[in-house]
Amino acid sequence: MYLRETRRTNKDGSVVRYLQLAHNERHPATGSPTAKVLHNFGRADQVDKEALARLVSSISRVLAPEQQAALAPEVTAAAGGEVEVVDSRRMGGAWTLDRVWERLGVGAAIRRAAKGRKLDPETAERVLFALVAQRALEPASKLAATSWVAERVVIENLPGLSDDQAYRGMDFLLAALEDIAAEVFHSVATLLNLDLDIVFVDTTSTYFETERPDELPETAEATADDQVSNPTESGARAFGHSKDFRTDLPQVVIAMAVTRDGVPVKCWTFPGNTADTAIIRTIKDDLAGWNLHRMVWVADRGFASATNRAYLTRGGGHYIHAEKLRHTGAEAAAALARAGRYKEVAGNLRVKEVHVAPGGNGDGDGGVRAQRFVICHNPDQAERDVTVRANLLTHLEGLIDGSDAWTARKRDELLVGSLKGKAGLKRYLRRTPAGLLRIDRAAVKKDAHLDGKWLLRTSDTTLTPQDLAAAYKQLLAVERGWRDMKGHLGLRPVFHHREDRIRAHVQLCWLALLLIRVIENTTGDTWRNIRHELDRLHLVTLATAQGQVAQRTTLTAGQKTILTALDLPEPRRFYDFTTPAA
């Protein structure tokens, strides 16, 4: 059945058009299709278009919403009405994050954890997703999230968000974090087939723009690491060693465990004065409950203590960590002094394996009690170290030029004043018995022996030196995670002062980092490029006198490439169709 148009030409040459409702029937004799007129609407220039629109509307009531929406332009044209754009929101980034969120099982884990509590599981899950998506797409405060959800972005099944809902969602996330994190980890590990033999651990700190910590330093208890007890997670702000070089501001310490693919396993938050060597014990015990198999922990120099090494080897675990090249222990010093040939493993990397007995005396009792070290050497880095040291010495020579004529007080001012905190300069300067300032050539020669080197200690006897060097270089994956947290995800500034809300804020950043890292690994592109392309996909709401329809914009070639790489279908074209009667 269709709308048929016929024409008649008058004697004066004018053409008159007629509209008819017809359908085709086969002629009983010839078998050819023949149009059968069911109803004549009359002349096309005199037809009642509003009546036609009502007819189309009444017919559309039996159609699916998508089919109704597809008819909306035709209904509008038939009625002769105007189309108004009443709303336009970004949907590409949030829609993609939502699909990855469900694929990784995060949404399902939250809904299951919410059952039996005094809140709706579906609403709690949607609220937390909105807060995570905000961190990934447009980081801001939780209060700003309310207007962001209501006016700027499309979050499916969440038309609005109040600040109370946001804070209740954060409280719930923190209360159920252990169950949610464990379930998400196992789901992600299974789905992505993650390599969990090696786990990278690192810490950072984030400061707060306030001079007042949560506890006055004068009344705070001593926090020295007793090498035995595990620190408890807390978002308490305290003064400590700042990795952001803001020792004047209170901070919290954040730890993160990451797989070799850069996927964050879990995050922890500790008071700002907690030592790294104590944090690793809490991390190991937390992950021990996840029934992981053989694990090798890769950590930086901050975790290098004999007690921590012994703790990490409990239960068959192993460690790989860097040793300090200067002011190091007897065993590391003996390893660096040991002669031997390097083995080329890459164009810019050479390795040498050394076994040292405890205390640095000999090679150990048949290798059983020996400490295994791997000395890594980068020739390119060695050249850079030579250049940097030459520049430092030139600068230092200029500073002490003519110092023999200075007073003793002025020479003291240089050492404890100008060079205070400049270890790179101060270690090359010595004072003679007469009090004169000279370049310490012995220190220069000793430093030259360390050019382009780094030293690894490990308890694992199965990994080759090449694997050990490559594993440690992959520790950069954690450092990249910190950059993304503090950059793309807006970890700082933290718009909270309660310690529980601070911890919840960190966990939202962790979930956001999990989503964007999986997307980056799958697509092979950076999140900044992906977000920029997906933000071009909008949901536009059109309104006429006959109703309202929400329709997404046409997918670009870049958006199709991203969805194909993620194995996601195209978003449906129409999301809403409302008639005046409805």
Q: What is the pLDDT of residue 239?
A: 86
Q: What is the pLDDT of residue 80?
A: 46
What pTM did the predictor assign?
0.76
Q: Using CA of residue 343, residue 345, residue 350, residue 351, what is the dihedral sign?
A: negative
Q: What is the pLDDT of residue 470?
A: 80
Cβ burial, residue 551 (10 Å; 0-12/13-18/19+): buried
Asked whether 418 and 399 are in contact (CB, 8 A), the reply is: yes
Asked whether 203 and 218 are in contact (CB, 8 A), the reply is: no
Q: Using CA of residue 232, residue 236, residue 237, residue 243, what is the dihedral sign?
A: positive
The residue among 116, 95, 215, 110 whose CA lies nearest residue 158 is 95
Q: What is the pLDDT of residue 226?
A: 63
Q: What is the pLDDT of residue 220?
A: 53
Q: What is the pLDDT of residue 208?
A: 87
Q: What is the pLDDT of residue 81?
A: 58
Query: Measured at the alpha carbon of residue 502, what is the angle toward residues 501 and 503, in degrees to the nearest 5?
Result: 90
For residue 251, the tally of other CB atoms under 10 A from its CB is 25
**Distance between CA atoms of residues 333 and 366, nearest Å:** 21
**Distance between CA atoms of residues 227 and 280, nearest Å:** 11
Tokens for 351, please give them: 């390795």
Alpha helices (runs of H) in 160-300, residue ranges in sequence order: 163-175, 177-192, 276-288
Q: State residue 219 phi and psi, 5-degree precision.
A: -100, -10
Q: What is the pLDDT of residue 203?
A: 85
Low-confidence ranges of the chain (pLDDT < 70): 65-81, 211, 215-228, 291-294, 302, 315, 360, 362-369, 580-582
**Distance between CA atoms of residues 392 and 398, nearest Å:** 10
Q: What is the pLDDT of residue 268?
A: 93
Q: What is the pLDDT of residue 93?
A: 96
Tokens for 113, please give them: 């954890």
Exposed e or buried b per residue across 214-224, where buried means at least 16 C-beta atoms within 10 angstroms of its C-beta: bbeeeeeeeee
What is the residue whose two structure tokens read 């020295």? 224
Q: What is the pLDDT of residue 66?
A: 65
